[in-house]
Amino acid sequence: MSAVLDHHDHDHDHHAPTGWRRWVFATNHKDIGTLYLLFAFAMLMIGGVLALLIRAELFQPGLQVVNPELFNQLTTMHGLIMVFGAIMPAFVGFANWMIPLQIGASDMAFARMNNFSFWLMIPAAIMLAGSFFMPGGAPAAGWTLYAPLTLQMGPSMDAGIFALHILGASSIMGSINIIVTILNMRAPGMTLMKMPMFVWTWLITAYLLIAVMPVLAGAITMTLTDRHFGTSFFNPAGGGDPVMYQHIFWFFGHPEVYIMILPAFGIVSHIIPAFARKRLFGYASMVYATGSIAILSFIVWAHHMFTTGMPVTGQLFFMYATMLIAVPTGVKVFNWIATMWKGSMTFETPMLFSVGFLFVFTMGGFTGLILSIAPVDTQLQDGYYVVAHFHYVLVAGSLYAMFAGFYYWVPKWTGVMYNETRGKIHFWWSLISFNVTFFPMHFLGLAGMPRRYADYPMQFTDFNMWASVGAFGFGFAQVYFFLFIVLPVMRGVGEKAPAKPWEAAEGLEWEVPSPAPFHTFETPPKLDATATRVIG
């Protein structure tokens, strides 16, 4: 037996699997990171098509493209696919690629679990997206899956619940892997307070994920037993309470929105110092701010529920707690601006997306602050102002940061430079079409247009037309991104990337922004045998 094992180990070192085996049996963090990113992009495209169907229907009043029932299925599935299929897996892809490189580890701690946590997502995604083809169509309860709507849905609801369970299990495994990797595998000399910001944000994000994914699992399992096993958790007829579902869901759901933005903060905290040629301003305060946001995220959940009849005392608590989160977030924004202040800035695509992120994310943050005011939220609840707010945070926040991270790290990943002109076209096209899409929604919300409706009164027509035109523009910008930027670098087309692609930009000398550059360590990072076969 030992001879067989020895032979296998030898085989593993010198003949890494090739062809399809390289991907199906991948245990290498870089290959798994690539798989995550490609999967997330595919889901982004699917979720985007659903969004465009929604916007096509809303182009004018009256029925045009889909009936109201299908419209509700589209809004539900768009939300679920974007959150659980696109944004979260994409950040896990970035984590897989960059965390071992940034802490000097040879790979992730649990290589096979890494593979498993990726491949679990494929059946889940098929089940989620395939629910459109089940009897009665996809779930139509909104991405929040509020009871009592969920108690009357067809079989696709069960498929959706199962898919979310599997995606949750994948997230938990990924998080355990990330935490163990960061805590156990850092290079000698890299203390916690010397870790790169992206590593810090992911460490905190991973703890958040482990804390809240089981809460979501509990909520949807109670929904399942209400549907099939005669329980009455959320069924008023049996003494249950639909509002209890909201409490449980949002106890998961609010930390979840920070799970989707903290890694973005980490990415931007690398790019801004690099292109300002200065080290990050206030590293320690950035770490503490990230931690504070994570802790506060657990005590604000009911600001999603100001209209459920909660006592005024409760409303006041959740209002003030929500406003408190603006403080650490503001600290981060000021630190980024202070990093750029008097820097020798150049504006290559990663920096453009980071500055775009800063501007548009801050706008989304301000609308969030407005929505935290209980009496204001009572008016704007479930309207288009809320839709505008969270798309500013999630699209212009999470997605822009991912684009920034892609442009920043893709020379390292592929060995070739992307086309800078095309990158800039992608940025301006995305920025303008995004704002044309979502800025008018603030006005629609203030004027009283509710969300998740397939039709609306005449007075909302013009802003909806603008929004729909912008949405198609934004969608095509991402197709352009894939065809003319992603595909060429994946195929190795483009000029060869220099060893330090961003250092020589504009010929300026600059400080290394990371708090502890590797070359200052007395002992080099220890590498084991697996480190020799990192990528083809």
Cα–Cα dist 308/3, whole Å? 67
Q: Are 224 and 158 in contact (CB under 8 A)?
A: yes
* Helix, strand, coil percent content, the chain, rounded in steps of 5: 75, 0, 25
Taking CA atoms, 273 is separated from 74, 363, 510, 511, in Å, by: 40, 22, 10, 9
Cα–Cα dist 28/511, whole Å? 32
Cα dihedral sign, 367-373-374-376? negative
Per DSSP, 513 falls in state: -
| SS3 at position 399 | helix
| SS3 at position 383 | strand
Per DSSP, 491 falls in state: T
Cα–Cα dist 534/302, whole Å? 46
Structure-token pair, residue 429 = 């096209």
Q: Are 221 and 276 in contact (CB under 8 A)?
A: no
Query: What number of other Cβ atoms are within 10 A of residue 288's Cβ?
Result: 13
Residue 46: its H or E element: helix 29-57
Taking CA atoms, 232 is separated from 12, 132, 140, in Å, by: 54, 28, 21
Cα–Cα dist 491/527, whole Å? 29
Query: Per residue in 223-246, is it b (16+ CB within 10 Å) or e — as a string?
Result: bbebbeeeeebbbeeeebebbebb
- Torsion angle defined by CA atoms of residues 500, 28, 125 and 225, in that order, rounded to the nearest 10 degrees: -120
Burial class (CB in 10 A: 0-12, 13-18, 19+), 469: middle
Positions annotated as catalytic residues are: 78, 107, 143, 170-171, 254, 256, 258, 269, 303-304, 329, 332, 451
Compute the chain's Rg from CA coordinates.
23
Cα–Cα dist 314/288, whole Å? 27
Cα–Cα dist 267/366, whole Å? 21
Cα–Cα dist 92/197, whole Å? 15
